[in-house]
């Protein structure tokens, strides 16, 4: 059995102008991991956090309490664009080792990146729902290939939003034409990231890596706000090729490539492959 931990980065609101403080990118994605590796991965993740953030907890705290305090991806990218060279090194060091940990546990990546247009509507609810359905279909394909079942665990938002997303999968599983996701054991379930190492890792992937890279590649020179920064080029240059290799991609019956981290650029209509940088 495999578990697909899904998180988001950015907001689902429209970008009114090129100088608006609204986030110009919305990311939804995460990590696919063998359920038999979850326990070991969780302990490894706690050790990693303890190594890079030794003062995260009080002196009398239990080791396992480390799961309750998150290292947010948004905070890491803030360090990367900060003025402190030591801060940048620290953030990039944690990102490097977190990616190394995911590689060691043979994690696969799936995700959707939406680069918002300036001054045009961006309807977050259907975008989010459609993205979850697409990710479910790609996870379904992966499960079929490896010959097992799986479960999607999404970072919880609120009950109405959770219900809407779960129902969109429910209607596909129980439609009269047959179950579109017969490898999924249940509709997506929702967890709180302060108790799931997988959701915390998904946040790191979406917020620290993918959001930063997309903002740099697709928005630099087109959007001028705090969420777009030249220093994010370092994230793409250091980690782009490794992230590219971790994707789960496949060809459908017509020969089109599916899965992986896909980009919908409504700002400049640039290709998704630019996200990872030039081939090395």
Tokens 């997988």 locate to: 198
- pLDDT tens track, the chain, 280 positions: 999 999 999 999 999 999 999 999 999 999 999 999 999 999 999 999 999 999 888 778 899 999 999 999 999 999 999 999 999 999 999 999 999 999 999 999 999 999 999 999 998 889 999 999 999 999 999 999 999 999 999 999 999 889 999 999 999 999 988 999 999 999 999 999 999 999 999 999 999 999 999 999 999 999 999 999 999 999 999 999 999 999 999 998 888 899 999 999 999 999 999 999 875 5
* Residue 279: per-residue pLDDT: 59
Q: Nearest to residue 80, comparing CAs of 90, 72, 71, 70?
A: 90
Q: What are phi and psi of 17, to 5 degrees?
A: -150, 170
In contact, 248 and 110? CB cutoff 8 Å? yes
Q: What are phi and psi of 244, to 5 degrees?
A: -60, -40
* Residue 58: per-residue pLDDT: 77
CB-side exposure of 215: number of CA atoms within 13 Å? 31
* Residue 280: per-residue pLDDT: 54
Question: Where are any strands of DSSP class E within the chain?
Answer: 2-9, 25-34, 108-115, 150-155, 189-191, 249-251, 257-259, 261-265
Letter string b/e over residues 97-118, b meaning 16 or more CB atoms within 10 A of that residue's CB: ebbebbeebebbbbbbbbbbbb
The span from the CA of 232 to the CA of 213, in Å, is 6
* Residue 28: per-residue pLDDT: 98
β-pair type (261-265, 150-155): unpaired
The pTM of this model reads: 0.96
The span from the CA of 186 to the CA of 66, in Å, is 29
List domains and CATH numbers for the chain: 2-276 (3.30.420.10)
């Amino acid at each position: 059995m495999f578990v697909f931990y899904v998180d988001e980065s950015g907001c689902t609101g429209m970008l009114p102008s090129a100088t608006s403080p609204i986030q110009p990118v919305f990311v939804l994605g995460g990590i696919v991991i063998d359920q038999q590796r979850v326990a070991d991965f969780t302990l490894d993740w706690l050790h990693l956090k303890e190594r890079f953030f030794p003062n995260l907890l009080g002196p009398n705290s239990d080791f396992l309490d480390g799961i309750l305090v998150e290292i947010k991806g948004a905070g890491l990218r803030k360090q990367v664009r900060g003025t402190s060279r030591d801060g940048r090194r620290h953030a990039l060091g944690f990102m490097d080792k977190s990616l190394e940990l995911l590689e060691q546990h043979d994690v696969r990546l799936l995700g959707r990146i939406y680069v918002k247009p300036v001054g045009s509507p961006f309807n977050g609810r259907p975008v989010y729902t459609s993205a979850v359905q697409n990710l479910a279909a790609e996870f379904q394909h992966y499960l079929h290939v490896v010959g097992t079942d799986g479960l999607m665990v999404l970072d919880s938002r609120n009950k109405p939003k959770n219900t809407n997303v779960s129902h969109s999968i429910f209607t596909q599983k129980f439609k009269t034409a047959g179950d579109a996701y017969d490898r999924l054991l249940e509709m997506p379930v929702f967890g709180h990231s302060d108790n799931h190492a997988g959701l915390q890792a998904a946040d790191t992937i979406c917020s620290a890596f993918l959001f930063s890279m997309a903002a740099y590649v697709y928005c630099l020179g087109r959007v001028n706000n705090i969420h777009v920064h030249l220093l994010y080029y370092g994230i793409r240059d250091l980690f782009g090729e490794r992230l590219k290799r971790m994707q789960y991609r496949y060809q459908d019956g017509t020969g089109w490539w599916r899965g992986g981290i896909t980009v919908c650029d409504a700002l400049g209509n640039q290709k998704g492959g630019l996200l990872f940088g030039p081939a090395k």
